[in-house]
Amino acid sequence: MKKHVLQESLDLVALQETIKQDFEDWELKEMSGNKEFNWIWVPARGHFGGLLTGVNIEGFEIEHSILEQFFVGVLIRNREINFRF
């Protein structure tokens, strides 16, 4: 997972089934290649679930988020062209 994010130099990341309750700062920095990312997540329930979403804040902004047990909804804005999706 980390290797792919770094290899492709991704600016948006959304992962499911992380099987993690929490993330340490160093884990998230390592995954983003030390780019400045804004991360949000829903913890796993035991050995199931877990959602992680992140955006490179240089180009994107999470304007709004909804976190549910099995759902992450985000409104993301592209800073350069002011497009929201």
- For residue range 16-40, what is the model confidence (pLDDT) as tens digits? 999 999 999 999 999 898 789 999 9
User: pLDDT tens digit string along 52-61?
Assistant: 999 999 999 9
Beta-bridge partners for 76:
62
Residue 72: C-alpha distances to residues 14, 15, 17, 33, 78 (Å): 9, 10, 12, 23, 19
pLDDT at 79: 97
